[in-house]
Amino acid sequence: MDWRIAEERLFQGLMYLSLVIVLGSLFSVFSLVVIKGLPALNFTMLTQVPEGGYYLGGGGGILNAIVGSLYLAAGSIFIATCISIPTAWYLQNNKEHSIITSTIRTMLDIASGIPSLLYGAFVFLIMVAFHARASLLWGMITVAVFLVPLLTRAIDEVMQMVPQKIMEASFSLGATRLQSIFHVVTKQALPGIVTAILVSFGRGIGDAASVLFTAGYSDSIPTSLNDPVATLPLAIFYQLSSPIPQVQERAYASGIILLVIILVVSIGSRALSKRFTKYCIK
């Protein structure tokens, strides 16, 4: 056989192998969690807060963690969006290759490479300086601080994908740079921005390490911003650390709930961005 054909075959085989590894690991995580968790999953888990001795096998559910996770992710994504979109506008408003812009981009890349746990430790030190207690508000701030660099870079990339010709068309109608960024580029990049926000929402809801220090843990649903809050990943972590097999099974059941939430968010983001694409210039 020709050695070039052999080479082609070899690399095709390697490609298929890596594809199988990626899809297989995803599928095995899904199936393991579903197989181990499904027997323990029932309606009370979704609708009740933990009763006394829940972590020793007592009755109740993990509604506190579900609601807490949703509150935390929603609040933090709101704060992060309010900061990220103006930052992305600023980056777009500057000239293409200015030193300030590229420095800011590098710094944002560095910030998105830092493990989320360090953000948690950082905000924890600030909390100590303020004599604050672990609460929903500080959890939101932590997750927002950790999401801002990711979200800003994602939105910035999406805005850079908008063709230069659309900007030029807007300039030719007499719009300033800022006006075309606000009204033309943002509208054109809207599907991408929505996707970026929802992907970050998924990151925020699934992140346990950053809220480990700052959000606390509680068995009841928070009623104000100053209450400590439980999150789903931490609930899974604590239940999995238990020696009782029944409680460990519940950890996998909570994992199913978390997977379903993330799946719904990512499918929803696909659908939403497809819907917004209708209003874009092609």
Site residues (CB under 8 A) for another protein?
106, 109-110, 113-115, 117-118, 121, 124-125, 128, 208-209, 212-213, 233, 237, 240
Closer of 148 and 185 to another protein (Cβ): 148
Minimum Å gap between C-beta 211 and another protein is 10
Say how far apart CA 56 and CA 244 lie, in whole Å. Answer: 7
Say how far apart CA 2 and CA 151 lie, in whole Å. Answer: 49
Say how far apart CA 177 and CA 93 lie, in whole Å. Answer: 7
Whether 265 and 259 have beta carbons less than 8 Å apart is answered as no
Minimum Å gap between C-beta 202 and another protein is 16
Minimum Å gap between C-beta 168 and another protein is 24
- Token pair recorded at residue 106: 């590098």
Minimum Å gap between C-beta 122 and another protein is 8
Minimum Å gap between C-beta 208 and another protein is 5
Minimum Å gap between C-beta 215 and another protein is 13
Closer of 8 and 109 to another protein (Cβ): 109
Residue 216 CB-density burial (10 A; 0-12 exposed, 13-18 middle, 19+ buried): buried
Helices 232-240 & 63-93, crossing angle to 10 degrees?
A: 130
What are the respective helix, strand and coil percentages of the chain, to the nearest 5? Answer: 75, 0, 25
Residue where the block lists tokens 């959890």: 139
Closer of 1 and 128 to another protein (Cβ): 128
- Token pair recorded at residue 211: 């809220």
In 136-160, which positions are buried (b, 16+ CB within 10 angstroms) versus exposed (e)?
A: bbbbbbbbbbbbbbbbbbbbbebbe
Closer of 201 and 213 to another protein (Cβ): 213
Closer of 122 and 182 to another protein (Cβ): 122
Closer of 10 and 107 to another protein (Cβ): 107
